[in-house]
Each structure stands twice: as structure tokens, then as C-alpha cells.
């Protein structure tokens, strides 16, 4: 697990590209201050609603059925201005749970109990001690950087940026370089996950780079492995 690469002690923990929050929810090392951040407003709104209004989310979902028609309706409604935060959160969660690979673009067609919300209790409990932010990577790093901070970064992987739901924000090659330039000058420590890519290895050649492999859960080949690198400044 990526948290095995974390230092033993840190006062602040910041997930710069929080995404689904897998590391945040399952890591076994904790800090006094923990921060989840993502540029995706719908994802951040979902986490905030689960943290502060879990009962309302459960009520909205308890009668939901898994169907392509509802999926398409909710997908089209995400651009509607009149939705409340809770309505938007419910629709976004529905899209995540019923889409292929949780990418929200394509209906997964695999039967799932959309009304099952038991997991929300654990999510809410974990988020109760987490600060939830919706900032660019530049602003979140600047806001929390000090000698006791550990940043975990899992940015859009190089040459696969179009697979990420980042809204209107475009993460291109210039952004990869900008991220490296910012990390060069931080006071805190960082752990950075990337795909094993020649461009990335060259970009971070002055840092510690460790090659790893993990299972590719989206591959049709169940034994498929995906090469990644873990980059650190300590």
C-alpha cells in the first residue's frame, strides 16, 4: 500500500488530488490535521454532503433503482443550475455507483443495489476529522506547506489526462511541469504517484524514484499489471 512509503511522523496530511479518497480512508498513519482536496466540485460537494447531511443522502437513495434510463437522466441533470447541493450529490453518487469503472460517463450495466447506503456511515465517520477543500494544486500546497506537512499527490497520469473528470480544468503537460516546479521548493515532504513514463522519470530525475506494479482493475485481462512510480523528496 502507498501509505507504507509515508514517513513515521507528520503533523499535517494533505491529499492534493483526492479523487475517491482511497488512501485517505485506508491508510494506517494519521496526522493532527488531515485535508482532502480535489478540483472536481461535484466530488467535493458529495463528500461535504456525506459529512454533514448523510441522512438526506440516504433518504434520496433508498428508493433508487439501477437503470440506464435513470443513469442518463441524472447525467444530463448534472449541468442544471437549480439542483440543491444534496440533489447534486445524490446524482453524482448514483453515476459513480452505476457507471463502468466509476468514471460516470458510461453506464456499467452490472446489477448493483443503488439503495444500499451502509457504507456512508463509515465514510462520514472518517470525514468527521477531515478538512474538505476545493482548490487548485497550487493553492492547496501553498496554503498548507510547512516542515511538518506530508503531501500525497496522485495527479492525472501523463498521456491519460482525458480519462479524468476534472471539469473545466485541463491538466496538460504544462501542468505536470508546473507541479514539479512547485514541489521542488516546498518545506514539507511529498509522496507522488505516477504512471511509469519516460517523461515523468526525466521530469523528476532529481528525486527518489521507485518503480512498482499493481493490478489493473479495468483490464479485461484479470492478470494484467500496471507499472507505476512512487516519487519522494526524502
More confident site: 224 or 57: 57
CB atoms inside a 10 Å sphere around CB 126: 17
Homologous superfamily of domain range 2-39+135-232 = Vaccinia Virus protein VP39 (3.40.50.150)
Q: What's the CA gap between 54 and 37, in Å, rounded?
A: 20
What residue spans define the domains of the chain?
A: 2-39+135-232, 45-122
Residue 196, exposed/middle/buried by CB under 10 A (0-12, 13-18, 19+)? middle
Q: What's the CA gap between 209 and 221, in Å, rounded?
A: 28
Average pLDDT over residues 157-162: 82
Going by C-alpha positions, the residue among 7, 206, 26, 223 that lies closest to residue 123 is 26
List pLDDT tens digits, range 84-108: 999 999 999 999 999 988 888 889 8
Residue 217, pLDDT above cutoff 60: no
Average pLDDT over residues 9-29: 96
Amino acid at each position: 500500500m502507498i501509505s507504507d512509503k509515508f514517513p513515521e511522523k507528520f503533523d499535517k496530511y494533505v491529499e492534493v488530488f483526492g479523487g475517491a479518497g482511497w488512501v485517505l480512508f485506508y491508510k494506517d498513519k494519521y496526522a493532527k490535521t488531515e485535508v482532502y482536496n480535489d478540483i472536481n466540485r461535484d466530488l467535493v460537494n458529495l463528500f461535504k454532503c456525506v459529512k454533514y447531511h448523510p441522512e438526506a443522502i440516504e433518504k434520496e437513495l433508498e428508493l433508487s433503482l439501477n437503470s440506464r434510463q435513470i443513469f442518463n437522466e441524472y447525467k444530463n441533470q448534472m449541468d442544471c443550475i437549480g439542483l440543491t447541493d444534496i440533489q447534486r450529490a445524490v446524482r453524482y453518487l448514483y453515476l459513480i455507483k452505476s457507471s463502468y469503472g466509476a468514471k460516470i460517463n458510461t453506464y456499467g450495466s452490472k446489477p448493483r443495489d443503488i439503495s444500499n447506503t451502509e457504507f456512508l456511515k463509515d465514510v462520514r465517520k472518517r470525514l468527521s476529522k477531515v478538512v474538505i477543500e476545493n482548490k487548485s494544486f497550487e493553492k492547496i500546497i501553498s496554503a498548507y506547506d510547512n516542515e511538518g506537512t506530508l503531501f500525497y499527490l496522485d495527479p492525472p497520469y501523463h498521456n491519460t489526462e482525458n480519462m479524468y473528470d476534472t471539469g473545466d480544468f485541463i491538466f496538460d503537460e504544462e501542468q505536470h511541469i508546473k507541479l514539479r516546479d512547485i514541489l521542488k521548493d516546498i518545506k514539507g515532504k511529498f509522496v507522488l504517484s505516477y504512471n511509469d513514463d519516460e517523461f515523468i522519470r526525466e521530469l523528476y530525475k532529481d528525486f527518489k524514484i521507485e518503480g512498482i506494479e499493481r493490478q489493473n482493475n479495468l483490464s479485461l485481462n484479470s492478470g494484467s499489471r500496471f507499472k507505476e512510480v512512487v516519487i519522494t523528496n526524502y
